[in-house]
Structure 1
Amino acid sequence: MNYWLMKSEPKIYSFDDLKRDRETVWDGVRNYQARNFLRQMQVGDLAFFYHSNIAFPGLVGLVRVVATLADPTQFDPNSRYYEPKSTPECPRWQTVRVEFVETFPLISRETLKQEFSTEELIVLRQGNRLSVMPVVEKVALQILALANSKIAQS
C-alpha cells in the first residue's frame, strides 16, 4: 500500500462533500506531474485529504482509492477539462475513484511545518500547486499518529 496527499479547495469540493457522497472521482487534474502520480495509485492506497486556499489550510481526513480509470471529463465536450485529442482507447488523463474513510480534527499547515520538512512533505514547499502527491510511509504513519492524538484530545 502507498500513501498520498490529495488537495482540494473546500469551495470546489470539500471533505464534507466527500463524506456526504461517500465516493467521488478525482477528476479535472490537468498537471502532468500530478497525472503521473495518479497513474501510480493503486486500489487500496490511502490518501490524506488536504483543504487548501482557506484561512486555516491543513489535513482533515483520510480516503481510500477504490478504482483507477481514465478521467471522464476529458471526453465531455461540455466540460472545461475536455481534451479533444483524447480517446477512450488512448486517454491522456488518468484518475482515481476514492471513498471516505475517516475524518480527523484539522492538522493545520502550521502543525505540519513544525513536524515535517519540505523534503518530507511536498505540500509544504513554497509555490507547490500539485493536487496529488506521494507521502512516504514513515511520514504517513507520523501523520496518522498526529491524527489519533488529536482525536484522543477531543
Structure 2
Amino acid sequence: MKHWLVKSEPEKYSWEKFNKEGRTFWDGVRNYQARNNLKEMKEGDLVLYYHSNEGKEVVGIAKVVKEAYQDPTTDDANWVVVDLSPVETLKKPVTLQTIKADAQLKDIGLVRQGRLSVMGVKAEEFDRILALGSGE
C-alpha cells in the first residue's frame, strides 16, 4: 500500500462536504506530475486530506476506492480521476506550520513541492502526521 496527500481549497470542496457526500471523484488535476500520481494510486491506498489556501492543514484520512479513469469533466484523454471515500477525521488538524517545524517531516513533499496538488507520502511521514493529529 502507498500513501498520498491531496489538496483541496475548503471553500471549493471541504472535508465536511466530502464526509456528507461519502465519496467523490478527484477531478480538476491539470498538472502532469499530479496526474501521474493519480495514475499510481491503487484501491485501498490511504490519503491525507489537506485544506489548502484557507486553513493550510491536514484534516482527515481518505482511501482510494476506485483507481484512475478518464476525468468526466473533460474530453481531453490526458486527464484522469480516482474515487475517494473519507475514512476518519483527525482529532486535531495538523497545520503546515506544525509540519514545517517537525524534524521528521523536513523532506515531505508538502514542504518541498508546495504547489503540487496530489503527491506521494512516505509511510513514516504518514504515520507521523497521524500521530500529530491524534491529539496526544
Q: CA offsets per residue over residues 6-41 of structure 1, 9 Å max, x none?
A: 001001111111011010000110100000000000
Distance 1:48 1:33 in 2: 18
1:109 aligns with 2:96: yes
Between the aligned partners of 2:14 and 2:117, the Cα distance in structure 1 is 13
Unaligned runs of 5+ in 2: none
Moved >3 Å (runs of 4+): none
Instruction: Give SS of 2:74's match.
Output: helix
Percent of paired sites with the same residue? 42
Once the two structures are superposed, what CA deviation does each residue of 1:61-105 show, in whole Å capped at 9, x if it has no partner?
A: 000000022211113xxxxxxx3xxxxxxx211220000101112
The aligned length equals: 132
- 1:40 partner amino acid: E
1:58 aligned onto 2:57: yes
SS of the aligned residue for 2:73 comes to: helix
CA RMSD of aligned residues (A): 1.2
TM-score, normalised relative to structure 2:
0.92
Select 1:124's aligned residue among 111, 115, 120: 111
Unpaired stretches in structure 1, ≥5 consecutive residues: 76-82, 84-90
Shift of 1:125: 2.8
| 1:111-140, Cα deviation, whole Å (9 max, x unpaired) | 1111121x2x111136x2111000011111
More strand by share: 2
Aligned partner of residue 49 in structure 1, secondary structure: strand
Bigger radius of gyration:
1
In the alignment, the residues of structure 2 paired with residue 114 and residue 61 of structure 1 have an alpha-carbon distance, to the nearest angstrom, of: 20
